[in-house]
C-alpha cells in the first residue's frame, strides 16, 4: 500500500469510525481503494466542523472541485487523501462526475437554510452518501454495476436519516436542520421551536416518522443487497450499523435534544463482522 493510501485509511479511522469499521470487511485487495473514497467523503463532511462561516468552507470545497477538474492546485500529492483518491479513480477507472455532485451538495452544510422536504433530503443523501456505496460496489465488481443502484440508494438514505435523527439536538443547537422541515410542519412544529430546543409531542412524532422512513429504506436496502452477487455484498456492510442505529434511536425517542452516547467501537466492529459472515457469500 502506498503512503497516501495508508494515510487516507488513518484519516478515515479518525474522522469516520463507522465507515472505517465497515471497510474492514472489504477484501484486502480492494480495501485501500474503498477506504480512499470513504476518506474523501469524511474529509468533505468535516469541513462544516472546521470553519466558522461559509466563505472558508466554500474555498475548501472549491479546492477539491479544481483538483478533480485538473485546474491548478498542483500540490495534490502533498494531500494524502487527495492523492489516494486520484490513484483510486485512475486505477479503477471510476467516473469523477459523482464526486463533483457530492461537493456541490455539501454546500448545503455550510449554511443555515433548513432542508425543505423529503424529496430534497433524498436527493442530498443520494449525492453525499449513496454514491459512496455505488463506488465501493464498482471497485469490487471491477466496473459499472447497475444492479447495485437500489442497494446504494436506499442504504444512503437510511443512513442519512438515522444519522441526522441521532444528531438532531446537536444540529438544532447550531441553528441547522438537516431533516425535512415539512416533516415537522406536518406535526405542528415550527422551525423556531426546533432551534429553541422546545420539546413537544409533535416534535417526537416527527422524529419517530423520520425513524420509520429510515427503517423502510433500510429494509429495501437489505432486500436489494440480498439479490446481489456475493462478491459485491461487502460494499454494503454499513447496513449492519444503520440497523443498530435505528434500534437505538427508538429507545431514545423521549430525549430528542439529548446528546447520544458514542456507541462502543468494538460493538460496531463486531456488528459489521457478523453481518459480513451472514451475508457476504
Q: Taking a C-beta distance cutoff of 8 angstroms, is the pair 83, 76 a contact?
A: yes
CATH topology of domain 112-280: Farnesyl Diphosphate Synthase (1.10.600)
User: What is the DSSP annotation of 115-158?
Assistant: P--HHHHHHHHIIIIIHHHHHHHHHHHTS--GGGHHHHHHHHHH
Mean pLDDT across the chain? 94
pTM: 0.95
Q: What is the pLDDT of residue 237?
A: 97
Sketch the domain layout of the chain as residue ranges.
1-111, 112-280
Instruction: Give the pLDDT score at 207.
Output: 96
Output phi, psi for 230, to 5 deg. -60, -30
Measured CA distances, 84 to 36, 54, 174, 247 (Å): 6, 27, 33, 35
State the Cα–Cα distance between residues 158 and 219, nearest whole angstrom.
Answer: 9
For a pLDDT cut of 70, what percent of the chain falls above it?
A: 97
Q: What is the per-residue pLDDT across 207-256, written as a single tens digit (0 to 9) for each?
A: 999 999 999 999 999 999 999 999 999 999 999 999 999 999 887 778 89
Output DSSP code: residue 142.
T
pLDDT band of 85, cuts 50, 70, 90: very high
Distance in angstroms (rounded) separating the CA atoms of residues 203 and 46:
28
Q: What is the pLDDT of residues 151-181, one digit of tens each?
A: 999 999 999 999 999 999 999 999 999 999 9
Instruction: With CA atoms as reference, report the closest residue to 272 among 42, 16, 25, 13.
Output: 25
**Distance of alpha carbon 9 from alpha carbon 206, whole angstroms:** 37
Amino acid at each position: 500500500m502506498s503512503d497516501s493510501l495508508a494515510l487516507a485509511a488513518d484519516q478515515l479511522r479518525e474522522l469516520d469510525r463507522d465507515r472505517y469499521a465497515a471497510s474492514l470487511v472489504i477484501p484486502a485487495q480492494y480495501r485501500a481503494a474503498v477506504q480512499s473514497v470513504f476518506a474523501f467523503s469524511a474529509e468533505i463532511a468535516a469541513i462544516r466542523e472546521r470553519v466558522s462561516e461559509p466563505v472558508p468552507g466554500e474555498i475548501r470545497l472549491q479546492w477539491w472541485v479544481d483538483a478533480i477538474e485538473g485546474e491548478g492546485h498542483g500540490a495534490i500529492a502533498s494531500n494524502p487523501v487527495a492523492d489516494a483518491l486520484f490513484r483510486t479513480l485512475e486505477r479503477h477507472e471510476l467516473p469523477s462526475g459523482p464526486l463533483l455532485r457530492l461537493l456541490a451538495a455539501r454546500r448545503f452544510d455550510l449554511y443555515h437554510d433548513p432542508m425543505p422536504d423529503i424529496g430534497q433530503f433524498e436527493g442530498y443523501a443520494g449525492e453525499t452518501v449513496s454514491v459512496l456505496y455505488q463506488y465501493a460496489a464498482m471497485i469490487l465488481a471491477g466496473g459499472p454495476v447497475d444492479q447495485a443502484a437500489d442497494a446504494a440508494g436506499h442504504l444512503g438514505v437510511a443512513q442519512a436519516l438515522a444519522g441526522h435523527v441521532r444528531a438532531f439536538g446537536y444540529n438544532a443547537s447550531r441553528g441547522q436542520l438537516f431533516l425535512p422541515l415539512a416533516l415537522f410542519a406536518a406535526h405542528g412544529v415550527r422551525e423556531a421551536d426546533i432551534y429553541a430546543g422546545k420539546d413537544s409531542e409533535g416534535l417526537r412524532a416527527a422524529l419517530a416518522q423520520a425513524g420509520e422512513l429510515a427503517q423502510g429504506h433500510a429494509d429495501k436496502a437489505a432486500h436489494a443487497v440480498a439479490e446481489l452477487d456475493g462478491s459485491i455484498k461487502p460494499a454494503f456492510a454499513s447496513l449492519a450499523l444503520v440497523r443498530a442505529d435505528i434500534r437505538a434511536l427508538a429507545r431514545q425517542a423521549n430525549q430528542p435534544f439529548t446528546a447520544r452516547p458514542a456507541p462502543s467501537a468494538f460493538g460496531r466492529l463486531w456488528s459489521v463482522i457478523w453481518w459480513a459472515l451472514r451475508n457476504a457469500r
